[in-house]
């Protein structure tokens, strides 16, 4: 996965976080609230993984 793809996925995950973080729980069942929470925290975890991948040093193919 190249840098552009990682950045694009990070942007998508930030949008998911923003949307799920703004969702109202009024009128939702406990199961629906749990599902929203689960999706939010999975997006947070995925974003952390992508950030770590983006911050990894690039290995040179020349020197091996």
Confidence of residue 56 (pLDDT cuts 50, 70, 90): confident
Contact 13, 50 (CB under 8 A): yes
Domain ranges of the chain: 3-54
Please tell me whether the overall predicted TM-score, pTM, comes out greater than 0.85 for this model.
no
Contact 8, 59 (CB under 8 A): no
pLDDT of the residue at 63: 58
pLDDT above 90 covers a percentage of the chain that reads: 78
């Amino acid at each position: 996965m190249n840098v552009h793809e990682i950045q694009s996925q990070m942007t998508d995950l930030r949008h998911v976080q923003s949307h799920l973080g703004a969702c109202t729980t009024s009128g939702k069942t406990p199961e629906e609230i749990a599902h929203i929470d689960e999706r939010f925290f999975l997006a947070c975890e995925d974003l952390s993984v992508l950030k770590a991948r983006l911050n990894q040093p690039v290995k040179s193919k020349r020197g091996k």
